[in-house]
């Protein structure tokens, strides 16, 4: 490993270089991994973790991993921005020696993840927490390097990325690697208990569902003098579809994943609408501020999905799922779950922090089994959100097959700090399906 972070000279990476980076990593890193054991570590009594993407979520995920087991420690970190990496290092160092890394293990630049993985013999699992656009390439590279993975949701922003994630997930199976994703409801006690009852028939035959992520606005970063378009968009990544997928993908995926869970898989088609009414200033990029999507599932069930990021809406804000069957209905949200109907029930047990639990589950999968691989499942839930966005952007219904086979690829031509025009806001009836 170099003794200093990567220089700006490495910050210009072509789109092709980024797509094939995983192949270059294979030659530099071991791909061997036992089925249920972690890759060979320099210290057998520790679980060594690397972090790629050192913003708020990456820092939080690293802290959650430290809380998940006393045997974990952070040994390497990478981010495109040095100030973000330094800030994250400072926060984690406050947690003690296990959160403190050496300067030689801090990599900066678009290709920092490659540098990290090329010197990864002592790394057991990798946390992927950059803006979602980068997830497919980083996931491919981590699996090629023979590492177990925790990756934040969503796992892509376009169908091209989804196909890459599914392929890399299959390669993880072939190598006996564990993959857990940041859809923490799948690891939350109240959700697990509710879904067990739903699967046991407490709701009868499922008929339809509604789900919501309606809230106010989030943070925004304005472009400062001297800040290139690429740097601004990366720092203000929520508001650019190529980076976040729009908020239906970046955030609402949680609710859509729960409904896919209940219905046993992804929808067959969708039709939706959305728009940009409250957040019209240029600082908000080009994404929408509201969506409403109707999904139809192969079994004939329907889902009404609604998400919004608009201030001042007060009591209409809600984040929850409502699943209705012939014998009752279930209401779920983080920290609570209940069923009303022929078999009334309310979750009243312990509900450990699901953000910590998902790392504990990954560690158990790595060390004792059974092995987890959530890559395909979260890719399907991500595509569920993407097809909803595609329908709203174009004003046209979209089938699952159309979405999965779409040639839409939002990647820029090059990854370099320079000019990058903001795309036009999508207009239904004008924006074309790709």
pLDDT of residue 191: 98
Statement to judge: residues 24 and 162 lie in one domain: yes
pLDDT of residue 30: 35
Does residue 398 lie in a domain region? Answer: yes
Statement to judge: residues 211 and 342 lie in one domain: yes
Q: Which domain holds residue 96?
A: 8-185
Q: Of 252, 256, 219, give the one whose Cα is nearest residue 55.
A: 219
Statement to judge: residues 173 and 211 lie in one domain: no
Q: At what angle do helices 159-175 and 135-144 cross, to 10 degrees?
A: 20
Please tell me the least confidently modeled range out of 169-178, 212-221, 312-321, 375-384. Answer: 312-321
Does residue 108 lie in a domain region? Answer: yes
Q: pLDDT per residue over 233-279, tens digit each?
A: 999 999 999 999 999 999 999 999 999 999 999 999 999 999 999 99
pLDDT of residue 314: 87
With vertex at residue 130, the alpha carbon angle to CA 129 and CA 136, rounded to the nearest 5 degrees, is 90
Statement to judge: residues 252 and 173 lie in one domain: no
Does residue 322 lie in a domain region? Answer: yes
Statement to judge: residues 166 and 208 lie in one domain: no
Q: pLDDT per residue over 128-150, tens digit each?
A: 999 999 999 999 999 999 999 99
Percent of the chain with pLDDT over 70: 90
CA-based R_g, the chain, Å: 21
Q: pLDDT per residue over 278-331, tens digit each?
A: 999 999 999 999 999 999 999 999 999 999 999 999 888 999 999 999 999 999
Residue 398 has pLDDT above 90, yes or no: yes
Does residue 224 lie in a domain region? Answer: yes
Distances (CA, A) of 277 to 241, 274, 281, 318: 17, 9, 10, 19
pTM exceeds 0.75: yes
Distance CA 153, CA 374 (A): 11
* Tokens of residue 320, six digits: 């929850």
Specify the CATH number for the domain of residue 392: 3.30.360.10
Residues ≥6 apart with Cβ < 8 Å to 352: 189
Band of pLDDT at residue 18, cut at 50, 70 and 90:
very low
Q: What are phi and psi of 268, to 5 degrees?
A: -90, -30
Q: What is the largest CA-CA distance in the chain?
A: 66
Given 140, 165, 185, the domain boundary residue is 185
Does residue 369 lie in a domain region? Answer: no
Residue 9 has pLDDT above 60, yes or no: no
Specify the CATH number for the domain of residue 119: 3.40.50.720
Mean pLDDT score across all residues of the chain: 91
Please tell me the least confidently modeled range out of 37-41, 92-96, 427-431. Answer: 37-41
Statement to judge: residues 176 and 195 lie in one domain: no
Statement to judge: residues 173 and 273 lie in one domain: no
Q: Of 174, 157, 165, give the one whose Cα is nearest residue 22.
A: 165
Statement to judge: residues 83 and 213 lie in one domain: no
Residue 19 has pLDDT above 70, yes or no: no
Band of pLDDT at residue 44, cut at 50, 70 and 90:
low
Given 121, 156, 185, the domain boundary residue is 185
Statement to judge: residues 243 and 391 lie in one domain: yes
Does residue 363 lie in a domain region? Answer: no
As for how many domains the chain has, the answer is: 2
Distance CA 371, CA 148 (A): 11
Statement to judge: residues 37 and 79 lie in one domain: yes
Q: Of 298, 319, 338, 194, give the one whose Cα is nearest residue 255.
A: 319
Band of pLDDT at residue 399, cut at 50, 70 and 90:
very high
Distances (CA, A) of 312 to 216, 278, 317: 7, 10, 9
Statement to judge: residues 392 and 255 lie in one domain: yes
Percent of the chain with pLDDT over 90: 89
Q: pLDDT per residue over 194-235, tens digit each?
A: 999 999 999 999 999 999 999 999 999 999 999 999 999 999
Statement to judge: residues 222 and 138 lie in one domain: no
For the segment 112-119, the average pLDDT, to the nearest whole number, is: 97
Distance CA 26, CA 121 (A): 13
Does residue 373 lie in a domain region? Answer: no
């Amino acid at each position: 490993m170099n003794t200093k972070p990567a220089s700006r000279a490495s910050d210009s990476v072509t789109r092709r270089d980024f797509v094939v980076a995983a192949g270059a990593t294979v030659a530099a890193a071991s791909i061997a991994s036992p089925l249920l054991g972690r890759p060979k570590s320099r210290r057998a009594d520790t679980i060594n973790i690397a972090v790629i993407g050192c913003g708020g979520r990456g820092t939080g995920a690293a802290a959650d991993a430290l809380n998940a087991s006393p045997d974990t420690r952070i040994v390497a970190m990478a981010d495109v921005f040095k100030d973000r990496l330094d800030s994250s290092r400072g926060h984690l160092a406050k947690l003690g020696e296990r959160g403190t890394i050496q300067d030689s293990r801090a990599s900066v630049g678009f290709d920092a993840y490659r540098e990290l993985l090329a010197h990864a013999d002592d790394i057991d699992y990798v946390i992927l927490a950059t803006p979602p656009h980068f997830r497919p390439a980083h996931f491919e590279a981590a699996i090629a390097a023979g590492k177990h993975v925790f990756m934040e949701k969503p796992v892509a922003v376009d169908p091209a990325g989804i196909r890459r994630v599914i392929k890399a997930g299959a390669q993880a199976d072939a190598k006996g690697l564990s993959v857990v994703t940041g859809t923490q409801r799948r690891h939350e006690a109240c959700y697990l208990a509710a879904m067990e009852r739903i699967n046991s028939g407490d709701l009868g035959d499922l008929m339809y569902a509604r789900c919501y992520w309606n809230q106010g606005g989030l943070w925004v970063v304005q472009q400062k003098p001297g800040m290139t378009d690429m740097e601004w968009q990366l720092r203000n990544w929520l508001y650019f579809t190529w980076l976040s997928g729009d908020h239906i993908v970046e955030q609402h995926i949680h609710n859509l994943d729960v409904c896919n869970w209940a219905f046993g898989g992804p929808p067959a088609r969708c039709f939706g609408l959305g728009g940009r009414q409250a957040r019209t200033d240029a600082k908000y990029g080009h994404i929408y501020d509201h969506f409403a999507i109707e999904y139809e599932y192969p079994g004939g069930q329907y889902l009404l999905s609604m998400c919004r990021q608009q201030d001042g809406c007060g009591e209409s804000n809600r984040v929850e799922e409502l699943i209705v069957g012939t014998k009752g209905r279930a209401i779920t949200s983080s920290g609570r779950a209940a069923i009303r109907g022929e078999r009334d029930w309310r979750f009243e047990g312990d509900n450990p922090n699901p953000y910590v639990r998902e790392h504990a589950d990954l560690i158990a999968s790595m060390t004792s089994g059974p092995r987890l691989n959530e890559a395909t499942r979260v890719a399907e839930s991500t595509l569920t959100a993407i097809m909803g966005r595609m329908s709203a952007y174009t004003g046209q219904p979209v089938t699952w097959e159309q979405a999965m086979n779409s040639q839409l690829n939002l990647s820029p031509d090059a990854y370099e700090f320079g000019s990058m025009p903001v795309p036009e806001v999508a207009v239904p009836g004008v924006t074309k399906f790709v």
